[in-house]
């Protein structure tokens, strides 16, 4: 059974402060948020690859679980989620502000 506090501690205690585009891509694929026909690259347009409103909600939940970062609805900006590279940068900035 999933243990959110344990997962949160694991993610927070073992993950580096910087979140890489590759970490975002791994999350998108591992959680089957996106199932693209082509490989996801750091600069690939996630919306063109199928990131819609439902997938975005799934992604936000997984970000909270895996990276222990909450995203305020006021922070929903297309440019933050446009690419894995952009999302990694956004999440890293949030993580560094929280420290």
* 72 pLDDT higher than 60: yes
What separation in angstroms does the CA of 56 have from each of 32, 43, 83, 96, 97? 12, 17, 12, 23, 23
pTM equals: 0.81
Domains for the chain: give ranges and CATH numbers. 4-98 (1.10.1200.10)
Confidence of residue 1 (pLDDT cuts 50, 70, 90): very low
13-69 pLDDT, tens digit per residue, is: 455 589 999 999 999 999 999 999 989 999 999 999 999 999 999 999 999 999 999
Tell me what pLDDT residue 33 has.
97
């Amino acid at each position: 059974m999933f243990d959110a506090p344990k997962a949160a501690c694991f993610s927070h205690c073992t993950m580096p402060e910087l979140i890489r585009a590759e970490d975002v891509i791994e999350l998108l694929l591992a959680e089957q948020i996106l199932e693209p026909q082509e490989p996801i690259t750091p600069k690939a347009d996630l919306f063109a690859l199928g990131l819609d409103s439902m997938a975005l909600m799934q992604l936000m939940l997984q970000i909270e679980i895996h990276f222990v970062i909450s995203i305020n609805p006021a922070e929903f900006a297309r440019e933050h989620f446009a690419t894995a590279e952009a999302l990694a940068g956004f999440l890293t900035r949030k993580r560094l502000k929280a420290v």
